[in-house]
Structure 1
Amino acid sequence: MVEATGSRVTQRREIGKRGVKVTGLSLGSAPLGGIYHDMPDAQAIATVDAAWDAGVRFFDTAPHYGHTKAEHRIGDALRRYPRDQYVLSTKVGRRYVPRTTPYDGSEGWQDPLPFQAIYDYTRDGILRSFEDSQQRLGIVDIDILLIHDIGRVTHGERNAHYWKQLTEGGGFRALDELRSSGAVKAVGLGVNEGAAILDAMADFDIDCALLAGRYTLLEQATLDDLLPACEARGVSILLGGAFNSGILARGVQGDLKFNYGAAPQEVIERVARLEAVCRVHGVPLAAAALQFPYAHPAVATVLTGARSVEELRENVASFERPIPAELWTALRDKGLLDLRATVPKD
């Protein structure tokens, strides 16, 4: 279900069949947790304020971001606004305890808080994590709860062990209890791989999934299986990572990160080709990157991170910018866009 408005940012789409409606553009909080670069508290709050002023009303966070820092900052910012006017999501799967070993920087967080994660997808672990998040946020009413980073990409051979915690250790049961009691309105996954979402859909009734990347101008393999399955089941995709960690934001002259690592040469070359087509049609690459995934009927919102008020406003402008239909036709003709992909229509 879609509520039409004059703004793509403020357009509302429903999450699954739960009555929760999110804005077209939403704010993710990994940058507020200090991914790659940290920021002062005042800058974090100003960025949330800029999102609010632009009409964004869905905010996502996680204990993992800055080792609980992002939840504190999002909570500090959002508690100043009427609770019934925004949608909030956070994640479970990691419990944070005081750090006993030095942080080695390998996760990319700059100046995280002094806590370390214990993976725990059991019923008790999820309920404990949920309560901890409520306290860090200073907000009791969390709308959407997502199982964070389950899957083979994160856990490798250990994934079977953690998946068993969900199916036999009561993890999925905890989500159902929270949803049935009204403690949360919708539940799902927050992952970097489509396979984990398909696995979850086979074992449990999820409402949504936050998918980082995997359906972008650079990646459309999820059209083979995941997106059709989501459409059939009424599972909403909250699409994060539309810039594939940065390379689609600035192009080949900008941040050459792709999916949290250094961009391989073939990706750089493909981005250069995408840029060239966008240039011919007078469209910034970032605008095409943000608007493309939102056209798919399974995608309820596009989550973007922002490090500053300026970046937030750039993202809003990119999401609202008119794009001629000829651009999408040209991308298809040059083999840069899957022929099955739904393209935006202004």
Structure 2
Amino acid sequence: MNKFSSRPLGRTDLRLSTLGLGAAALAGLYDPVDDATAAATLQAAWDQDLRFIDTAPFYGYTRSERRVGAFLAGRRRAGYVLATKVGRLMTPDPSVQCGSDGWANPLPYRPVFDYSYSGVMRSFQDSLLRLGVERIDILLVHDIGRLTHGELHEVHWRALTQGGGFRALEELRNQGLVRAIGLGVNEWEIAEEALAAAPLDCVLLAGRYTLLEQGALHFLDACAAAGVGVIVGGPFNSGLLAGQAKYNYGSVPPDVMARARALASVCAEFKVPLEAAALNFPLAHSAVTSVLVGMRSPEQVQANADWARRPLPAELWQALRARHLIHPEAPLPAGSVKEG
């Protein structure tokens, strides 16, 4: 089996596999995942040479970090790239119930937003303990923005920009405890503001530059020009491009469903799985380092690896563009994810 290629993350010295494992699903997003299945999924990803793993304290209310840490115990630290996040402190709370924030069986902790200097530092130290590592490769500010916080956005933004949150990230990077800093968000507009406010290395942008929607195209162009790496999360738009009736973690608007069906129809003409096109498309942009996919079973790992490695005809992309299903200025893949 050929290894997945790796790409540099912006100006940093990090290289990420072009397909990465998002560890939210392993923590029981919507449906439970037991310990044995989670471990088997991580092992399957490792066997497929997926060496980029993204987690967060929020996922399963610390369950994801604990499972990832247990799997990585004893493995050579230079052999993988690990990302986690700050912005929420996890406080013990025995009243937490199944289904909180979409987690099927969360651990008994309650997330409390804290983007301040002390909050970032404490979150980082807690993550080191749960993950069992001495450093984090990529540390991301999680879910800052108006989409998450609404009228409280300015309060949290001040904590990040004036209360020392960004300063804490820079200190950790300067000390060598973190190799890259950035944002993990679902809205490109706040990432644009953040890049103007702090010297960030990367952005994990979920669901906003995919086969389904390319509204963030010009933001990605700006990232490429500035040497900021982009990790594309949610390439299936919460599962819509993988056969699930979800979009942005909720129900699917009729116009979005119509567009997804049109994409599927064109892919079917070329005998290409829609999922394969969705995984390959974002990587055509020069800013994109890796596509991050949530996986909850070894079978899903195998399926995603097969889709990502599948050779795709150039004519497919031309047909999608001709039918106005891809932004006219979006870069088009030449073929499959390169291997080697």
TM-score, normalised on structure 2? 0.96
Distance 1:322 1:155 in 2: 41
Distance 2:266 2:181 in 1: 39
The partner residue of 1:175 within 169, 187, 194 is 169
Distance 2:99 2:26 in 1: 16
| Aligned position for 1:333 | 322
Distance 2:263 2:103 in 1: 30
Distance 2:98 2:52 in 1: 32
Structure 1: which amino acid aligns with 2:241?
Answer: L
Higher relative contact order (CA 8 A, sep 6+): 2
Instruction: Number of aligned residue pairs: give it.
Output: 335
Structure 1: which amino acid aligns with 2:13?
Answer: G
The partner residue of 1:47 within 41, 45, 48 is 41
| Aligned position for 2:229 | 236
The partner residue of 2:308 within 293, 299, 319 is 319
Shift of 1:80: 3.8
Paired residue secondary structure (2:178): coil
Q: Do the aligned residues in 1 keep the contact of 2:7 with 2:15 (CA within 8 Å)? A: yes
Paired residue secondary structure (2:286): coil
| Aligned position for 2:282 | 293
**1:75-90 paired onto structure 2 within 5 Å:** 75-90=69-84
Distance 2:9 2:255 in 1: 35
1:303 matched to 2:297: no
Please list every run of 5 or more consecutive structure 1 residues that lacks an aligned counterpart in the other structure.
Answer: 1-5
Distance 1:12 1:203 in 2: 29
Distance 1:228 1:344 in 2: 16
1:61 matched to 2:55: yes
Distance 2:252 2:122 in 1: 37
Which region of structure 1 is more displaced relative to structure 2, 284-293 or 11-20? 11-20
Structure 2: which amino acid aligns with 1:297?
Answer: S
1:152 matched to 2:152: no
Structure 2: which amino acid aligns with 1:240?
Answer: G
**1:79-158 paired onto structure 2 within 5 Å:** 79-99=73-93, 101-103=95-97, 105-158=99-152
Q: Do the aligned residues in 1 keep the contact of 2:95 with 2:108 (CA within 8 Å)? A: no
Paired residue secondary structure (1:323): coil
Q: Do the aligned residues in 1 keep the contact of 2:100 with 2:106 (CA within 8 Å)? A: no
Structure 1: which amino acid aligns with 2:299?
Answer: E
Structure 2: which amino acid aligns with 1:108?
Answer: G
Moved over 6 A (4+): none
| Aligned position for 1:11 | 5
Aligned CA RMSD, in angstroms, stands at: 1.2
Distance 1:334 1:95 in 2: 46
Shift of 1:153: 0.3
Structure 1: which amino acid aligns with 2:291?
Answer: V
